[in-house]
Structure 1
Amino acid sequence: MTLPLLVVTAVAAEAEAVRAGADPGHVVVEPVGVGPAAAAAGTARLLATGRYRAVISAGIAGGFVGRAAVGSVVIGVRSIAADLGAETPDGFLTVDELGFGSGVIPGDPALVKSLTEALPTAVPGDVVTLSTVTGTAATAERLARSYPQAVAEAMEGYGVAVAAHGLPFAELRSISNPIGPRDRAQWRLKEAFAALSTASAALWIACG
């Protein structure tokens, strides 16, 4: 018997969007909470059952301007804990630079490749994980400079990647808004949820 794919989201609305497109016979979708800590704990609890063959962190996200447009889908090549580190007078030091481990976890190469082939219009790139989402142009510019391969910002991917602990992992996001000042008039949640549902239809094809 082939084990199912586990897809974890932050909130129920994202889970419903994934379920609307995914094959229920082969894909299990569960919301695990907002932020990297809740995502890691919730994912670890589910994976401890040994019932799953791979895990994907999915949901909506903010897109880096000029890299991922609102309404598009992105595939995380790497999930990066972008605010895990220390402030110094000379700027932010990542946990890698501090020598305390790594804040960068690559997606499983085979899984990322399969997703990219199944979703040819999706944008591949890094997805940064933040506990506090960006709300200013200055922070958006700093992140864009620090992570030139980043296409999206979300709150759970790195936590899910830590919990995966050897299982194939990837991140799949649809873009609801540009990263920067929190202008709700620019958000397109309906379009992002629709894009997430459409992309989810390819999950089992990609991961089967």
Structure 2
Amino acid sequence: MKILLVAATNAEISLLTEHFGLSGAALMKTEKFDILVTGVGMTATAFSLGKHLSNRYNLVLNLGIAGSFDTSIPLGTVLNVVEDDFSELGAEDQGQFLPIEELGFGKSSYHAYNNLLHPSISALKKVKGITVNTVHGSSGSIESIKNRLHPVTESMEGAAVLYCCEEAGIPCLQIRSISNYVEPRNRESWKIGLAIKNLNEWAIGFLTNS
């Protein structure tokens, strides 16, 4: 099985690339898997995947860190994001948000379709995420998005990867580790190092045993 591993930044997969002796370039190739570092955000992710995604890959694995709206999930927890929404894709109608589905111009929700039964995947909690251009950092906007979409995670790339995979008809998997809670911005409480460590350890195990 040939895998395309997709990450926004080299920093998020630094332990993995070091483990496999890879260079940290934007595109790294091995016999079993390739790694594509897209840059941050859904636009950069979609552009990079548009250039490199093809049916020579049997699976796309999106790795990254994320914020969690659920404070009962410990920081550093690795999660399987099985559904992801472009949360801002739509229109405002006074105080109401109209998703693109209601406007008749497409859809905003995508799923990670695959038939993987790997035990390291089965062990992960399945959650719903949202993909944003602006990460939430105020109480009002956080409560609003929680009430509207009930997400667990927040990233800036996830739904773009799932969208590209759906369009290309390629199985996909989105695995994210929680680096912080979605709250009024408080960098002192973030655990980015822990999240990266746990994410990379999971990914190394998966790639080694797949």
Can you list the C-alpha shifts for 1:109-145, whole angstroms capped at 9, x where unaligned? Answer: 414xx36x31455321111100111111222222222
- Distance change >3 Å, CA 37–CA 128, structure 1 → 2: same
Unmatched runs of 5 consecutive residues or more in structure 1: none
Deviation at 1:19, TM superposition (A): 3.2
Q: Which residue is equivalent to 2:63?
A: 58
Question: Which one of the candidate residues 6, 9, 12 is aligned to 2:10?
Answer: 12
Post-superposition, which runs of at least 4 consecutive aligned residues in structure 1 deviate over 6 A?
Answer: none
Q: Which residue is equivalent to 2:73?
A: 68
Q: Which residue is equivalent to 1:78?
A: 83
Q: Which residue is equivalent to 1:129?
A: 131
Q: Which residue is equivalent to 1:33?
A: 39
1:192 equivalent to 2:195? Answer yes
1:44 equivalent to 2:50? Answer yes
Deviation at 1:83, TM superposition (A): 1.0
State the SS of the aligned residue for 1:180.
Answer: coil
Instruction: Give, in whole Å, the separation in 2 of the partners of 1:84 and 1:202.
Output: 36
State the SS of the aligned residue for 1:65.
Answer: coil
Q: Which amino acid aligns with 1:195?
A: N
TM-score scaled by length of structure 1: 0.86
The number of residues matched between the two structures is: 200
Can you list the C-alpha shifts for 1:56-109, whole angstroms capped at 9, x where unaligned? Answer: 221111011235331101111112111111111132111112221111111114
CA root-mean-square deviation: 2.2
CA contact (8 A) 1:15 1:30 kept: no
CA contact (8 A) 2:13 2:200 kept: no
Deviation at 1:162, TM superposition (A): 1.9
Overall identity of the aligned pairs, in %: 29
CA contact (8 A) 1:174 1:192 kept: yes
Matches within 5 A, 1:123-202: 123-148=125-150, 150-164=151-165, 165-202=168-205
Can you list the C-alpha shifts for 1:7-50, whole angstroms capped at 9, x where unaligned? Answer: 111111113244356796523222101111110111121114x4
Q: Which amino acid aligns with 1:102?
A: K
TM-score scaled by length of structure 2: 0.85
